[in-house]
Every structure is written in structure tokens, then in C-alpha cells.
Amino acid sequence: MSKMLEAVWSSLALPPSALQAVDFTGEGALPSCYAVTDLAAASVGAAALAVRELIAAQGGRPARVRVDRRLASLWFSWSIHPVGWERPPLWDAVAGDYATADGWIRLHTNAVHHRDAALAVLGVAVDRDAVTRAVARWRGAELEAAVVAQGGCAAVMRSSAEWAEHEQGRAVAAEPLIALATAPGSFNAGWAGTPSRPLAGLKVLDLTRVLAGPVATRFLAGYGADVLRIDPPGWSEPGVIPEVTLGKRCARLDLRSEDDRAIFSGLLAQADVLVHGYRPAALERLGFDEDVRRRLNPGLIDVALDAYGWTGPLAGRRGFDSLVQMSAGIADRGMHWQGAAKPVPLPVQALDHATGYLIAAAVVRGLLHRLADGNVATARLSLARTALLLAQMSPDGGVDAGALAPASDADLAPALEQTTWGAARRYWPPVAIDGAPMAWDRPASALGSAPPNW
């Protein structure tokens, strides 16, 4: 555990002595040949420890940080438990792993345009049996390339050795876990955190989708940040929205519209933090490249994530946690570990969740720079680099730990959260900082349910 946390903490360039302030509790581990529970506890712990450092920088007393390994593991799945309603399905009817003529491939089709792209290449309708038959006629690498060229999302299953030898695997291995950079800046007034609510008044503009980025901004909201999520008209990800919009306001803007671009420019100019998960160059195509963002807001903490890393031939590829697990050897190692006949992914989408907490830690690191030296920070992270951390920090023979006991009512906080969809309960927070409880001011809400203003 300590090595995992030390690896994450060192990437933030914060005092190693702070690690002595963390206590870990909780029993059991998620079932995997990878140290998934260690990753959960370490990433949650690093984000909270960074907040602890921020509290000290704001004049607060040194505090203990207590990470519950069990709750951290549970939060890496789904924290929300509906009362009297059902959460929408997570996966599209076509999404999943398919046998090719020479191996396995995963199709990610939760977005309609991604599904349409895959089906167009395969020449079939929305029918899983028809997709299975069509995929079986393709060689995996050729189908992956064809789906990606069509604008879809797919990944063939590679072994860890194959990924390590792949040009993209080598590029990712050369990247830092968190690529941080600083420069002089000037800042908006208004952020007035306190030791008990250290991020109160912090304006966070959230341009992220699905899990990693939204997990990051959910964490920041838990310590008082004012998070405004922006989605384009028509975008929906119903399976995850009740999970990840906790603590946030959600608005819609069409950044291809001149009027909406003007509104977004105003929001960006007033923000303290921008977290974005667009592919490299996507914001540039919309007219908001890094130079424009910096001109609009010289003090902006700018944190970006992508799937496959920031260098190498696949740096601009669309990707999701489940696809990176296939590409980077995780599903292959799981299959051999379990003696299975098909890919075995991690028990949770750990790359997404862990990267989310690392993003939150990077944001707080930026705030520490702002307070200490008046510098503005940028950070870049990727799911593929988080996958490498997990692989490097997992024992060769698999994880030797007792199984995580099933979730029970005792894991759930008693308060009811009145979401857009109905009442729900959440797990207790996975981490506690003495004197600064993690708590959210707003329940989960639907996309587009708030106006686009601060």
C-alpha cells in the first residue's frame, strides 16, 4: 500500500513527510490479479492528503487523513443506491467483447454515434448475434482500425508484453503519471476556502464525460467547490449520470454556436479551474486552444485527461477504461489468471476512478502553487498511464488478500439524497480529514437541469 501511495504522491512533488499523516482502515480486497483495492485507497488517499496540505496552507491545523480501503473499493463501483427506482443500464446492447478470427476485440457502443460507426463497418443491424457472426469474420487489428477510422471505439486484446513493445505502450511508459507544469499567473478573486470547507467558492468548469473527469469534480464538490458541468445539446450517458453529478450543477452549451461560445468564454474567464476530457486538439478545433484559454483567464488551473496518453501514434484516439484494459494487457492477464476462455477485465472500472482522484489531486496541487508562489498550473493525465501504475505496483503472483465482503446497509449513510430521479442513499465517504468532512451541497441532477452561469 505504501509503495502505491508513495508513487502517486511523488508525482505531485509534495513533501514525503506528509505521508505519515495517513491511516488506512478496512478489510478485504476486490477480487483481481491486480492490486485494485490498493489503487483505490492510494488514489483516494492522495487526493485527500493534497486537501490536507491545502488546509495547512490556509492556516488550518495539521490533520489526520483516514482512508477506508473497503469504502474506497465500493466507491470505485457505484456509490448510489436508489430508493424506489432503478438506475438505467450501464451498457448498450451491442457493447462488449467479441471473438475475432485471431483473438478478441471490445466494441464500446454506449454513444449512439459510436454504435452506428461499428455497425456500419460490420454491415449489420442492432442485433448481438449478428454482430458476433460479423466480428468473427474479421482479424482483430483490421477491425479495430476500420471501426476507429469510421469514428467508433474499439480495442483488440493485447498481452502486457505486446503492449510494452507497442509504440504507444512505449510512449506511455515514458510519460509521467501526472504531468505538471507551472508559469506565472494572475488570479480571480472570490475563492475563500476555510479549514473546514477548503474549496468553498472555488469555481470549477467541468468539460468531462462518463467517469474519470466526473469522479474528479465530484470529489472537489465534496470539499465545497462550485462545479458547473457543461454538456452539448443532446448528449446523454444515462447509466452514469445519477452516480457522477452529485454536488454539481449541470448545464448545456453548443460550442459550435456563436452565442453559446460567448457564454462559455464568460464562464471560462471567471473560473478558477477547468477540467476537460476532450481528445487532444478537440478544444482547439472549437476555438479554445491553450493560448486562447490563457488569454481569457491568466490564472486558470487547466487539467486535461485522455485515454491513450499524450504522445505516441494513438495519443488522439477515442478511448474508455474498458478499451484501455484490453489494449494494455489487463484483460489478457485477468483471463490467464482466472483460467477463463474470454477476456477478464478488472472487477470495477478502476482506471477511470483512480485517474479521477489523481485529477482532483492535481487540481489541489495547482491551488497550492497559487497560494505558495503565485504560479498557475497545468496538468495532463491519461487512463493508459494509470494502467501502467497499476501493472507496475501489482504482485506477479496475484493479490493475496481476503475477499471484500458484500456491501451492506451499514456501508450506506442514513441520509436520503433527493435526486432528479427520486430518493437515494450513498455509501459513507471513503476518506475523512479531521475537521473537514466530505459532504455535498447538491444532490445528483439531470444533465441540462441548470442554467449556464456561476
In 3D space, the residue among 65, 79, 69, 43 whose CA is nearest the CA of residue 360 turns out to be 43
β-strands 65-68, 22-25 pairing: parallel
Encode pLDDT of 351-402 as tens digits.
999 999 999 999 999 999 999 999 999 999 999 999 999 999 998 766 766 7
- What local confidence, expressed as pLDDT, does residue 397 receive? 65
HSE value, Cβ hemisphere, 13 Å, CA-based, for 197? 13
pLDDT in tens, 13-40: 999 999 999 999 999 999 999 999 999 9
Q: Which pTM value belongs to this model?
A: 0.97
As a three-state string, the secondary structure of the chain is: CHHHHHHHHHHCCCCHHHHHHEEEECCCECCCCCCHHHHHHHHHHHHHHHHHHHHHHCCCCCCCEEEEHHHHHHHCCCCEEECCCCCCCCCCCCCEEEECCCCEEEECCCCHHHHHHHHHHHCCCCCHHHHHHHHCCCCHHHHHHHHHHCCCCEEECCCHHHHHHCHHHHHHHCCCCCEEEEEECCCCCCCCCECCECCCCCEEEEECCCCHHHHHHHHHHHCCCEEEEEECCCCCCCCCHHHHCCCEEEEECCCCCHHHHHHHHHHHHHCCEEEECCCCCHHHHCCCCHHHHHHHCCCCEEEEEECCCCCCCCCCCCCCHHHHHHHCCHHHHHHHHHCCCCCCCCCCCHHHHHHHHHHHHHHHHHHHHHHHHCEEEEEEEEHHHHHHHHHHCCCCCCCCCCECCCCCHHHECCCCEEECCEEEEEECCCEEECCECCCCCCCCCCCCCCCCCC
Residue 1 has pLDDT above 60, yes or no: no
The predicted model gives 432-451 an average pLDDT of 97
The answer to whether the CB of 80 falls within 8 A of the CB of 424 is yes
- Give yes or no for a contact between 335 and 342, defined as CB atoms under 8 angstroms apart: yes
Cell of 7: 508513487
What mean pLDDT comes out for the span 410-429?
97
Confidence check: pLDDT of 269 > 90: yes
| pLDDT confidence of residue 400 | 61
- What percentage of the chain reaches a pLDDT higher than 70? 99
Q: Average the pLDDT over 432-443 and give the result.
A: 97
Does domain 1-454 correspond to CATH entry 3.40.50.10540? yes
Asked whether the CA dihedral 335, 339, 340, 344 is positive or negative, the reply is: negative
Residues contacting 95, CB < 8 A, separation 6+? 107, 108, 109, 110, 115
Q: pLDDT category, 88, cuts 50, 70, 90?
A: confident
At 189 the pLDDT is: 75
pLDDT digits (tens, 9 = 90+) for 125-169: 999 999 999 999 999 999 999 999 999 999 999 999 999 999 999
Q: Are 417 and 423 in contact (CB under 8 A)?
A: yes
Mean pLDDT, the chain, integer:
95
